[in-house]
A and B are shown apart, each in its own frame.
Chain A
């Protein structure tokens, strides 16, 4: 059924058709309409789920952890300061190996106070052991939630996943979205039935104390699980494509990269703008391409190495900044490429913080600068784009 809806409603419908059984959430701009819609679904009896209103995001995630241990399919949604308040319990969810799915409406961290698009909140949770998927469209938000449950609940994975939609650009912008038929989703995504779960008649403690002689083995298992998620993500997406006719390019979604000289790595909604710019520059005979970073975790290391073998330059656009280093997507990219012999020039561009528009002009400016830097063989950076007061500025 095709409907016109916001990214937030796409998240709510994603949780609905995935038959989430427990939803625990706390409202925060710009996530609020996700949980409002889910509360409506539950109140109207359209969704057979327990909706738990809680007093904070820390409690929201704690409730999801408990419900998941008891064998329920759980969902929550948050944004920025709500996500960072969850930080401790995010570690708990992955360490306890719980397949919780959450939408994060990616928003800037304060101060300065801001409610607009920025990836700092999501990037700051990179090391929590969650899979992280950045979405380009509202349809991708809905579809990725369905796929995420199937990936997370796989016995070889059993890890949580974060679905990331850019604040306002996706969360509050309406697009046509196909809501898949419930019976099709039901046959694609079977009921969640974990091998071990908490039961009333059989009390158990989950995530108990272990001494130094046993801790590393549990972390090693989690590492293996995240690595095996790579294959699972690919196979689930393949099955999704065969069932629903849509797919999103795995961990690294490449667009017109086949014979590209320079490619731009970008995550989230700015990828849509980049596609337009790539087409326009290609029309003028400039061989550029887009490599959309769809997953920050697991990071597409092999995919980037393969891409690096074919291109002269890689520009990396970060919509967040790690002070004292560089953009996180950039350092991750460089880290992936270093072990191999063929390493193209890589340059970091910082743009779009706190909801600043990433315009076609900015994207074209980055491509032109990267081509120039590659020709000259000089890739200083990180380069902050469109900052008032800087001599070099393009918009």
Chain B
């Protein structure tokens, strides 16, 4: 509901990060990691532009509620262990 100009701060202030805004539905392709081939180099984690990758025991775990499917992780992976798979396939 629209608040009166008198009841709002000077500029919009949010207390939660934009990661609260689930963006998984934007995706056309999703990344699948072959953990047997992963060398734990962490490049995918470093390059993910939206911080949708967490490292668990050095291995990349992708948050599919947030990953937009850009494919940068797959493109950067030197071991070629990330495959982009079309949603629904």
| Residues of chain A whose beta carbon lies under 8 Å from any beta carbon of chain B | 95-97, 158, 196, 203-210, 213-214, 217-218, 220-221, 224
Contact = CB atoms under 8 A, between A and B. Distances in A.
Interface of B: 1-5, 8-18
Contacts of B9: 196
B2 A209 contact: no
A218 B14 contact: no
Contacts of B12: 206-210, 214, 218
Closest 3 CB pairs of A and B: A97-B10, A205-B14, A217-B5
Given A203-B17, A205-B17, A205-B18, A97 B11 contact: yes
A218 B12 CA distance: 8
Given A205-B15, A221-B10, 13 more contacts: A95-B11, A97-B11, A203-B17, A204-B15, A205-B14, A205-B17, A208-B12, A213-B1, A213-B2, A214-B8, A217-B5, A217-B8, A218-B5
B3 A206 contact: no
Contacts of A95: 11
A262 B68 CA distance: 66
A96 B10 CA distance: 7
A207 B8 contact: no
Contacts of B1: 213
A208 B8 CA distance: 13
Given A214-B3, A220-B5, A204 B14 contact: yes
Contacts of B8: 214, 217-218, 221
A205 B13 contact: yes
Nearest to B9: A196
Interface centre among B2, B12, B17 (most CB of A within 10 A): B12
23 contacts: A95-B11, A196-B10, A205-B16, A205-B17, A206-B13, A207-B11, A207-B12, A208-B12, A208-B13, A208-B14, A209-B12, A214-B3, A214-B8, A214-B12, A217-B2, A217-B3, A217-B8, A218-B5, A218-B8, A218-B11, A221-B5, A221-B8, A224-B5
B16 to A, nearest CB: 8
A209 B3 CA distance: 15
B83 to A, nearest CB: 33
A208 B21 CA distance: 12
A298 B5 CA distance: 21
B1 to A, nearest CB: 8
Contacts of B16: 205
A203 B10 CA distance: 18
A203 B18 CA distance: 12
Contacts of B3: 214, 217
A73 to B, nearest CB: 17
B13 A204 contact: yes
Contacts of B17: 203, 205
Contacts of B18: 205
B23 to A, nearest CB: 13
Nearest to A94: B11
B24 to A, nearest CB: 19
